[in-house]
Amino acid sequence: AVFCANDLLALGVLQAMYAAGVVVPDDLAIVGYDDIEFAAAAAVPLTSVRQPAITMGAMAADLLLEETEEREGQAAHQHRRVVLQPELVVRRSSLAAR
């Protein structure tokens, strides 16, 4: 199996494996990251990890605004860590035929 840092790399691996005669997913499973639109449209639809992009953007904006707000008479701003859950979108590139 190959887990790629992003979908574009995974699609490149998929193309290279096709050229080498390697059958995906029977011989090799491939998983990407980001779940770009082309992932589902590949010759072998690509399994990918989807991030909550809209939530990430909104949260980043909120955190930035919090960081820059001046609060008279209040304690200094406290940094906080936010962890968002990604979602595994399973497609054919990681499911061998049974």
49 and 32 in contact (C-beta within 8 Å)?
Answer: yes
pLDDT tens-place string over residues 34-87? 999 999 999 999 999 999 999 999 999 998 888 887 666 666 667 888 999 999
Domain containing 8: what range? 2-94
Q: How many domains does the chain have?
A: 1
Cis peptide preceding 25, ω within 30 of 0: yes
What is the pLDDT at residue 37? 93
**Has this prediction a pTM greater than 0.85?**
no
Position 79 scores a pLDDT of 80
Structure tokens at 63: 């955190």
Q: Are 41 and 51 in contact (CB under 8 A)?
A: no
In this prediction, residue 40 carries a pLDDT of: 95
Structure tokens at 56: 């990430």
